[in-house]
Structure formats: C-alpha cells, structure tokens
Amino acid sequence: MLQGVDPVLTGQVLLHLDAMGHSDAVAVVDAHFPAHRLGQRVIDLPGLGTPRVLRAVRTVVPLDDAPALDLMTSADGSVLAVQKELMAAAGVDDTSTRFVDRFDYYGLAQEAYVVIRTGETRVYGNALLRKGVVVLPGEIRGDA
C-alpha cells in the first residue's frame, strides 16, 4: 500500500492509468458489461461499485475537456440514481456529461485504453472518463 494513494487503486490499475495519455479513456463498468469481449485491457475489481472506483480514479486522473464523462443512456432516458452517483464521483454535473446510446457506448468502451469491471449490479452503472493533461504544482498550463 502507498501513502496518499486510494487503496482501491491497485498496482495494476495505477500502471494502466499512468500509461494513459491525454484524451485516452478509462471505462469503469458494471458487472453486466461485456468487458472482456470489448476491452483491450481489462482489470476486474469485483468487490467494488462503479461510483467508488470512479472516485478513486479521479484522485489521480485529471479530467479532459468536455465531455469529460460519458454515461450510457438508460432505457427510458431518465437519469438513474447510480448515474447521479457517477457524476458526483467524477466531480462533474450534467453540463459536462454526455449520455450515449448503449451500442455507441460499447464502441467508445472498445476504444478505451483500459476497462475496469466492477462488481456493480445496478444497471447502467457504467462511466467512461477521458484523461486530461497532468499539470504538476508550479507548472503553467499552455503558453504563458
């Protein structure tokens, strides 16, 4: 275990999050998601829910520009409780969240750098987050 690092972030998770570049995506998906069929790299965290894992990921991954977060549109188009929890865990609201049709979401997840499959059993408990630029303390972002 590392000091200051969320214990949800295993060495394997940290390795892949670190290897991601700007605009690469991490898909944090529920237990129902076809992760091993779609994902190039899949990490299983079966004892955890997606909001918890996404909150941990956000401690080390900055957000890309909007849309920073993609969620799968529910069957009736409503925003479900788990989706509200995912937005809160990512630190975004509905203005920087894009809701995507199920099959379009599968395509996005297939292109993700890494897929983290959780034990989340609530349907539509899937989130795709794009990595922004990591700016170290004291550095200035952009041309200054």
Question: Cis peptide before 67, with omega less than 30 degrees from 0?
Answer: yes
Would you tell me how many other CB atoms lie within 10 Å of the CB of residue 27? 27
Q: Catalytic residues, which ones?
A: 22
Distance CA 45, CA 63 (A): 22
Distance CA 18, CA 6 (A): 15
Distance CA 72, CA 142 (A): 32
HEC per residue, 16-43: HHHHCCCCCEEEEECCCCCHHHHCCCEE
